[in-house]
Amino acid sequence: MLPIRDTIRARRFPYLNITLILVNVLLFLFEASLGQAGLQSLLGRYGLVPARMSLTDPQSLTALFSSMFLHGSWFHLISNMWTLYIFGDNVEERMGSGRYLVFYLLAGVIAGLTHVYFAADSRLPTIGASGAIAGVLGAYFVLFPRGRVLTLIPVFFLPWFVEVPAFVFLGVWFFSQLSSGLLSLGNLSGGGAFSGIAWWAHIGGFVAGLFFVHMFARRQRPVWRQDVYRL
């Protein structure tokens, strides 16, 4: 299922969400400007390598943050940024930009640590914003369960567009990640490293979003008479 848009429109421009997208795009353009050797050096230094992870190592702690702003391909970047664009504006509006930034980074760090736990021996650099974005999806699941997501579902190679309730779309997404994560435990590389996808980072980020959303989201303001237009 490919999300096209959601039906909930933010009333304020999502400055931080757009900034996060621009930062990721600019950093990927920088990655693309490097040669193969330079790129490998960058990913090895700033990607999250589970086997090298130590909470007493400053470089490991830096990698927990830097890895969530690096991407491995145009498809990787576009799919992540498109998802963040669709769901992040509403979550930012409910939290406020400052709280949203802290929440986003916290979800990304928890996602990274979850991946480290399930792929502790992996020496492959892990990169991508997917874990942090999964936290945004978890928050959206809690805050806007009655929203609807216009979704592209290919049926016999033909595009079929259907509006799916947000809790169904995100529930199916999470179940697919959990199923893939459980299957990945049988791989020698663990944690999804064999498939090239850090499934447990997605799972950890989503659960972090579910757990921390109410600590960061502001209560909705009640609608008073002066807020309603009279026709």
In the numeric block, which tokens belong to residue 175? 């179940």
Spatial separation of the C-alpha atoms in residues 88 and 37, rounded to whole Å: 34
Q: Which residue in 99, 85, 107, 105 sits closest to 14, CA to CA?
A: 85
Burial zone of 8 (CB within 10 Å; 0-12 exposed, 13-18 middle, 19+ buried): middle
pLDDT of residue 224 exceeding 60, the answer is no
CATH homologous superfamily of 2-217 equals Rhomboid-like (1.20.1540.10)
**pLDDT per residue as tens digits for the range 87-135:** 999 999 999 999 999 999 999 999 999 999 999 999 999 999 999 999 9
The mean pLDDT value of the chain amounts to 89
**pLDDT per residue as tens digits for the range 28-50:** 999 999 988 989 999 999 999 99
Spatial separation of the C-alpha atoms in residues 216 and 142, rounded to whole Å: 12
The residue assigned the tokens 């169904």 is: 168
Q: Which residue in 171, 76, 78, 70 sits closest to 112, CA to CA?
A: 70
Domain ranges of the chain: 2-217
Question: pLDDT-based confidence at 186, cuts 50/70/90?
Answer: low
Rounded to 10 deg, the angle between the 15-33 and 74-95 helix axes is 160
In the numeric block, which tokens belong to residue 210? 């579910």
Q: Which residue in 177, 175, 94 sits closest to 136, CA to CA?
A: 94
Enter the pTM of the model: 0.89
In the numeric block, which tokens belong to residue 127? 């990169």
Q: What percent of the chain is modeled with pLDDT above 90?
A: 74
What counts of helices (H) and strands (E) characterise the chain?
8, 3
Question: pLDDT value at position 221?
Answer: 56
Spatial separation of the C-alpha atoms in residues 112 and 86, rounded to whole Å: 23
- In this structure, which amino acid lies at residue 102? V
